[in-house]
Amino acid sequence: MSQLLDALAPYVGRICGAIALEAGEDASQETLIAVFRRLRSLKDPAALYGWVRTIAIREAVRAAGGPAGTVPLGDVAPERGDTEMADDVREVLARLTPDQRAILVLRDLHGFDEVEAARVLGVARGTVKSRLHRARAVFRKEWTT
């Protein structure tokens, strides 16, 4: 169990950290508690990471205050040891809604196409497209100003 936790924690941490920001630790913990409680119900071990990813995204969006929740910029504390650029990314991400961060994580961090992202998020392909468009527009604007 401890080894499985060692393997899953960084994966979950990357999803929850990027979507839930300063609530990322809470989201990671809740994700992995849900995973470990229901581990025996997983029929196909090959589906483990997909299953974990779906739970992590749900928990991260919830921990960040729901789909449209926003994080006050002043509350975003830089992580110890992070580079200046990582802090900048964090600050820009804080200007997006959790739903927008979730779509960016799936498309730009995990390389999902629109169809796969729509399936994981449980929304229509068109919704993914429009959220991604808005998220990237906000990201680009904040990043370059």
Partner 1 sequence: MTSMSGRWPSAALDPVRRMRILVAAMPQAAFRERVLDVPCDAVWRLAGDLERGTPQWKKDVAALAILQRDDEHLQVELRSHFGIRLRLDAELRPGWCVMQGRLLAVGMAAVPEGERTRFAHFQVLRLPGSRLLRPFLRHQMHHEFETLERLVRKGL
CB of 58 or CB of 90, closer to partner 1: 90
* 112/73 Cα distance (integer angstroms): 28
Among 7, 50, 70, 79, binds partner 1 (CB under 8 A): 79
Which one of 50, 68, 70, 83 is in contact with partner 1 (CB under 8 A)?
83
Print the binding letters for residues 108-137 with partner 1: x by CB under 8 A, - otherwise.
Answer: xx--------------------------x-
Specify the residue, 124 or 143, whose C-beta has the smaller distance to partner 1: 143
Give the angle 136-75-141 at the CA atoms, nearest 5°: 20
Binding of partner 1 at residue 55 (CB under 8 A)? no
The closest of 89, 37, 31 to 62, measured between CA atoms, is 31
Distance CA 60, CA 69 (A): 11
